[in-house]
Homo-oligomer: A and B are copies of this chain.
């Protein structure tokens, strides 16, 4: 059954080849001071930096740079970004990069004029901003997180070994996002497939929960079918525009709140994966891939019906003459086969996890209640062990 909800997603998306040209009309909506936020500098190699700076200058903007955003943006970097935004009197934070850069920009938006410690206020106490915030715009160069059309922002506190996400309301969503599939062509294959798995995981976190009939679950199945199809094309030919554009579009709808409306969600794979990220700084999508199978095998007995539906409707398993459990397990086997075809990391040992880290990882793992089984600490440790 659909529970009650309020839905509002005001982000304006410019999608397609050359979509960055739309920046010109969008920038007219904001004042002169723009903070250009980006990551490790890949946008300087592939020309996107030059393109964006040229447009900003043509539009008469004052540019302040905030580069060097790391894959797992830290509290220290956040405090620096808040200072830069405040001191430059930013009218717009323009995030040019992937999910980390966009997530970070949203955190800067709510932190620049925050009178308290932003980490404590937003990521420990999960409060909403009570201060002035700064509009965020996004030029996406990496696909996966869905950050271009949602309020999600994940920040890492290295001292506390915690990586925590806050989902802000529509007023913090990017005002606009530029989605040009061609911008993702130069991404290394490792990053591309990590992003693809992040998308799949986002959908499954929302799909593997609840027993009820819900239109959102049917939409989720459609998104997964599209993703499986396009990912297998893209992994063979990363320059296939059709596949890359569908992956980009799927990523947006996988996590822009639609398929979660009115139903329970899980998010435990993200809790496990984010613990790994906090301890190893590994690529987000790969941390999810490495822990997924052990987690799904742990909860499958508690949600067999839904895993069987997934097997049938997404992985093409023929249920004739089989028990739901057999169908469900066949579906997981098909999913594992797909993960191997993509070349995902399937072992935590490849991400820097050591045998003496399990207790610390468990300490960093939040336990959710929305899925088919609330994990015990022992189960959490076993999942990490089985994922090695």
Is residue A220 contacting chain B, with contact meaning CB distance below 8 A? Answer: yes
A7 nearest CB neighbor, chain B only: B13
In the complex, what residues of B have CB within 8 A of residue A221's CB?
222, 225
Interface residues as binary, A138-161 with B (CB distance below 8 Å gives 1, 0 otherwise)? 000000000000000000000000
A6 near B2 (CB under 8 angstroms)?
Answer: no
Name the distance in Å between A348's Cβ and chain B's nearest Cβ.
31
Q: A7-B15, A10-B10 are in contact. List 6 more A-B contacts (CB 8 A).
A: A1-B241, A2-B249, A4-B17, A6-B13, A15-B262, A218-B226
In the complex, what residues of B have CB within 8 A of residue A64's CB?
none
Measured in the bound complex, the distance between the Cα atoms of B5 and A181 in whole Å is 12
A215 near B253 (CB under 8 angstroms)?
Answer: yes
Best-surrounded residue of A14, A215, A223, A243 (most CB of chain B within 10 A): A215
Is residue A22 contacting chain B, with contact meaning CB distance below 8 A? Answer: yes
In the complex, what residues of B have CB within 8 A of residue A241's CB?
1
Measured in the bound complex, the distance between the Cα atoms of B111 and A58 in whole Å is 38
Considering only residues 215-261 of chain A, those with a C-beta below 8 Å from chain B are 215-216, 218-223, 225-226, 229-230, 241-243, 245-246, 249-250, 253, 258, 261
In the complex, what residues of B have CB within 8 A of residue A10's CB?
8, 10
A16 nearest CB neighbor, chain B only: B4
A9 near B9 (CB under 8 angstroms)?
Answer: yes
Measured in the bound complex, the distance between the Cα atoms of B11 and A215 in whole Å is 19
B214 near A246 (CB under 8 angstroms)?
Answer: yes
Interface residues as binary, A248-291 with B (CB distance below 8 Å gives 1, 0 otherwise)? 01100100001001100000000000000000000000000000
Is residue A18 contacting chain B, with contact meaning CB distance below 8 A? Answer: yes
